A and B are shown apart, each in its own frame.
Chain A
Amino acid sequence: MTTVGPPTAPATYGPPAASPPPGSAAPRHPPRHHWIVRTTHWVNVLAVAVMVGSGLRIFNAYPAFHRRGESFCCYPLEGRPVPAWLTFGGWLAGARNWHFAMMWVLALTGLVYLGFVYLHGEWRDLVPRRGDARDAWEMVKFYTLARRDHPRQGKHNALQKLAYFSMPVVGVVLVLTGLAIWKPVSLGWLTALFGGYVWARYWHFLAMLALVVLAVGHVFMVLAVDPYSLRGMITGGYDPTLAPEARNARPFHHLLPRWRSSPAPPPTGAEAPAERREEDA
C-alpha cells in the first residue's frame, strides 16, 4: 500500500497515517478501485462466464479441430466433448445467439476498461516493468515458504500485476481470433494472420483456456489470500491494515483480521530493490 499514499506520508504507515484530521468519524481512503473499473469488472465476469459457457457449447457441436478428411496435430482430446454442465445456451443455435450477443458486451466493456486505465493512469499499476520478474520470483518464494516476509509491493504484488496484465492481452487475442472465425471470408486477411480458419479456431480455444486458468487462479487467490479485496471491488472500500502485505498472508495463512498490522515500515537498507521501486512509483 505504500506507493498509493501521498508522497508526504510519514515513514510509519497504518491507519493513523492515512486518517483524516481528528474529529471525522471514520478513516477515509480513496476507493481501492474507480467505479468504472468496478463496474466493468463485474460486467466482464458475467460476459466472460456466458462467453465461455456458450463457446464450449458451440465447441461441443464438433469438439475437434481437424479439417474434414485430415487429422490435427495439437489437441489430445480431439473428438471428446466437454461436460455438458460447463456449457451454456442449451443447444447450438441458442449458444451461438448468446455468444454473438455477449461478444459486444465483452468487447465494449473491454474497451471502456482499457480506455479508462490508459487515460486515468491506472496502467502504471499493471504494466510490467523492470524488476517485476525478480519481484514475482520473490512472491513465489514467499508463497512456497522459502521466504518469511511478504515482499514489499505497490497496489498489487508482482504476480498479480502479471495476471492482471495478461488478462486484457488474452482478451484481445480472444476478440481477434473470434472475429477471424466468425468472418473467415469477409475478414480473410485476419484469419490468414492466425494461420487459417482451423488454426484461428484453435488459438481461440487456447486463449479461452488461458483466460479460464487466469480467472480461476484469480478467484482462488482472492478467497485464499485477500478476501477483503472483494469489498474493494464492490464498494471500493479497502482497509490497508488488512492488505496481504500487512497480514503477511499466504494462501489460507494469516487469513483472519487478527493478523492485521500496519504495513511494514520502509526498509532500512537491507531491501534496496523495494526502495528503488518506491521511488519509481
Chain B
Amino acid sequence: MTPRRHPDAAARLLDDAAARLEALDRGAPLGLAGRTSPLGPLERRRFLAAGGSALAAALLAGCNSFGPRSARGLLELAERANEHVERWLLRHTSMDHAPRAARIAGRSFPAYHISRHVPVWDERRRGPWRLEIAGLVERPLRLSLDDLVRLPAVQQRVNHYCVEGWTAVATWWGVRVRDLARLAGARPEAQYVDFQSFDADYHESWDLESATHPQTLVAYARDGRYLPPAYGAPARLHSPVKLGYKCTKYLTRVVFMAERNGGYWSDRGYEWYAGT
C-alpha cells in the first residue's frame, strides 16, 4: 500500500482515520493476539551488554581501548564533520525500499531492551498508557493507543538497519512523526526531537529533518499485528533513515526541543546522528 497524503487540517485527521483503519484491517489481521506472542531472540541484548562492559573496562583502564587518548579530539571532530555531511545528504525524497525478494524477518527480528525484564506498561500503577507530544508545541497532546490508531496510518515495508551491520525487513504500521508535529503545532524553534520511553531511562534525540522524514513513524504494529511487549509495545519509533538504536521503543513522550538531548547509546560513545 502506498502511503497516501492526508488533509492538512488537523480537524479532518480524526474523521479520516476510521476509514483508513478499516482499510488497514482488511489489508492484514491486526489483532490484539499479537501482543502476547513469545519473546524474540535476544542476541542483540547480549551484544549490547558486552559493549557496555567493554566501555566500562575501557574507562577503568588507564590506556583505553579507543586508541591513543590524544586521538579522542580528532575522532570527535570527525564525528561532527560527518554529521554535517550526513545532514547535507539527507533528503525527504530519498526513500528506503526493502528488496522485493527479501523475506520478512518475523521472529528472526531481534528484540532488545535495556531493563532487566521486558518492559510492560503497568496500567494499575501508572494509569492508562498515553503518548505525550510535548515541548515546543502549540497544542501538547496526550494520545491513547486508540487515538494513535485512528490517526492517518502509513504502512511501509522497509529495512531496519542495525548498528551491528545486519538488516531486517518488516512491514510497519504507524503514524508519521511529521503528522504528529503538525497536529501538535511544533514551533519553528523546535529543531530537535527527543523520543523518550518507559524502558528505564532509554531515550534518543533526533534532528528535526530526520524526525520529519516521511518514513519516520510512531509504529504500533508490525507485520499485521500490534507490537508485542518484546518489540516495544504499545508504540515505538521506527525509521529506515536512522540506525536501530535511534528508534526508541516503549515510547512515552515525543518532546520537541531547541537543543539536542543526547541519548542512551549516544551518551555511551555511539554516534548521535547515526543516519543512513
Q: A: which residues have CB within 8 A of B?
A: 58-59, 61-62, 64, 66-70, 88-94, 96-98, 100-101, 104, 181, 183-188, 196-198, 201
B27: Cβ under 8 A from any A Cβ: no
User: CB < 8 Å: which of B67, B79, B105, B265 contacts A67?
Assistant: B105
Nearest A residue (CB) for B239: A185
Give Cα A93 to B268, complex, Å: 8
20 more CB-based (< 8 A) A-B contacts, given A70-B102, A184-B96: A61-B165, A66-B166, A67-B103, A88-B67, A90-B66, A90-B67, A91-B54, A91-B65, A92-B270, A94-B58, A94-B66, A96-B271, A100-B79, A100-B271, A183-B276, A185-B276, A186-B86, A186-B91, A188-B94, A197-B159
Give Cα A69 to B160, complex, Å: 13
Q: What is the distance, in angstroms, from B229's C-beta to the closest C-beta of chain A?
A: 20
A97-B54 in contact given A64-B166, A92-B163, A184-B161 (Cβ < 8 Å): no
Q: What is the distance, in angstroms, from B54's C-beta to the closest C-beta of chain A?
A: 4
Q: What is the distance, in angstroms, from A16's C-beta to the closest C-beta of chain B?
A: 49
Q: Are B96 and A69 in contact (CB under 8 A)?
A: no
Give Cα A147 to B185, complex, Å: 81
Give Cα A273 to B81, complex, Å: 53
B104: Cβ under 8 A from any A Cβ: yes
Q: Which of B106-114, B195-203, B249-257 contacts A (4 or more CB under 8 A)?
A: B106-114
B144: Cβ under 8 A from any A Cβ: no
Q: Are A97 and B102 in contact (CB under 8 A)?
A: no
Q: Are A62 and B159 in contact (CB under 8 A)?
A: no
Residue of B94, B240, B268 ringed by the most chain A CB atoms within 10 A: B94
Q: Are A68 and B110 in contact (CB under 8 A)?
A: yes
Give Cα A92 to B275, complex, Å: 16
A67-B169 in contact given A94-B58, A188-B94 (Cβ < 8 Å): yes
Considering only CB atoms and an 8 Å cut-off, how many residues of chain B contact the other chain?
54
**Contact indicator per residue, chain B 6-22, by CB within 8 Å of chain A (1) or not (0):** 00000000000000000
Give Cα A97 to B94, complex, Å: 25
Give Cα A69 to B107, complex, Å: 8
Q: B: which residues have CB within 8 A of A?
A: 47, 50-51, 54-55, 58, 64-67, 74-75, 77-79, 81-82, 86, 89-91, 94-97, 99, 102-110, 159, 161-169, 240-241, 265, 268-271, 275-276
> With a CB–CB cut-off of 8 A, which chain B residues contact A61?
47, 163-165
User: CB < 8 Å: which of B67, B86, B169 contacts A183?
Assistant: B86
> With a CB–CB cut-off of 8 A, which chain B residues contact A201?
165
A92-B105 in contact given A100-B79, A183-B86 (Cβ < 8 Å): no
Nearest A residue (CB) for B159: A197
Give Cα A2 to B94, complex, Å: 55
> With a CB–CB cut-off of 8 A, which chain A residues contact B106?
69
Q: Are B166 and A97 in contact (CB under 8 A)?
A: no
Q: Are A68 and B166 in contact (CB under 8 A)?
A: yes
Residue of A92, A96, A184, A201 ringed by the most chain B CB atoms within 10 A: A92
> With a CB–CB cut-off of 8 A, which chain A residues contact B109?
68-69
> With a CB–CB cut-off of 8 A, which chain A residues contact B55?
91, 93
User: CB < 8 Å: which of A66, A100, A185 contacts B94?
Assistant: A185
A186-B275 in contact given A90-B58, A101-B75 (Cβ < 8 Å): yes
Task: Please name 14 pairs of A and B residues whose Cβ atoms are closer than 8 Å in the assembled complex, sorted by A.
Answer: A61-B163, A67-B166, A67-B167, A67-B168, A69-B106, A69-B169, A90-B64, A92-B51, A92-B270, A93-B268, A183-B86, A184-B161, A185-B94, A188-B95
Give Cα A187 to B96, complex, Å: 10
Nearest B residue (CB) for A201: B165
> With a CB–CB cut-off of 8 A, which chain A residues contact B82?
100
Give Cα A104 to B50, complex, Å: 29
Residue of A68, A69, A100, A198 ringed by the most chain B CB atoms within 10 A: A68
> With a CB–CB cut-off of 8 A, which chain B residues contact A100?
78-79, 82, 271
Nearest A residue (CB) for B53: A91
Residue of A101, A186, A196, A198 ringed by the most chain B CB atoms within 10 A: A186
Q: What is the distance, in angstroms, from B220's C-beta to the closest C-beta of chain A?
A: 21
What 10 pairs across the A-B complex have the smallest Cβ distances? A90-B65, A101-B78, A68-B168, A69-B108, A91-B54, A61-B164, A93-B269, A68-B105, A69-B105, A62-B164
Q: Are A97 and B66 in contact (CB under 8 A)?
A: yes
A69-B94 in contact given A97-B269, A186-B86 (Cβ < 8 Å): no
> With a CB–CB cut-off of 8 A, which chain A residues contact B161?
184, 197
Nearest B residue (CB) for A184: B276
Q: What is the distance, in angstroms, from B75's C-beta to the closest C-beta of chain A?
A: 5
Give Cα A115 to B65, complex, Å: 35
Q: What is the distance, in angstroms, from A271's C-beta to the closest C-beta of chain B?
A: 52
Give Cα A196 to B161, complex, Å: 12
Q: Are B96 and A183 in contact (CB under 8 A)?
A: no
> With a CB–CB cut-off of 8 A, which chain B residues contact A188?
94-97
Q: Are A69 and B103 in contact (CB under 8 A)?
A: yes
Nearest A residue (CB) for B269: A93
Give Cα A96 to B168, complex, Å: 21
